[in-house]
Amino acid sequence: MRVTMVDLNKKANAIINQVAETGETTIVYKHGEPIAEIRPYHDPSSANKALEFLLNLEPVPVADSPESILEQGRRRGI
């Protein structure tokens, strides 16, 4: 989304809420030139928690061969 400094001054709360809700980055323009970017905050620790969870998963034995599993999926239209 693009906003001007005038719009940002008038509607800062609404613009920031929209960025938070949609995840869309907003570029702020002054005299037609981009001067700032407003983007949602992403907590880096949440990515670390997800990675830690995935690394701690135990392998699950699969009885069928990969080819057999793919063929079953094709038959089911997946």
* pLDDT level of residue 78 (50, 70, 90 thresholds): low
Q: What is the pLDDT, as a whole number, of residue 32?
A: 96
pLDDT 10s digits, 23-50: 999 999 999 999 999 999 988 888 888 8
Q: What is the pLDDT, as a whole number, of residue 45?
A: 85
- The CA-based angle 20-22-24, given to 5 degrees, is 90
Q: Which two tokens stand for residue 33?
A: 């030139």
HSE, side-chain direction, 13 A CA sphere, residue 31: 0
Q: What is the pLDDT, as a whole number, of residue 44?
A: 82
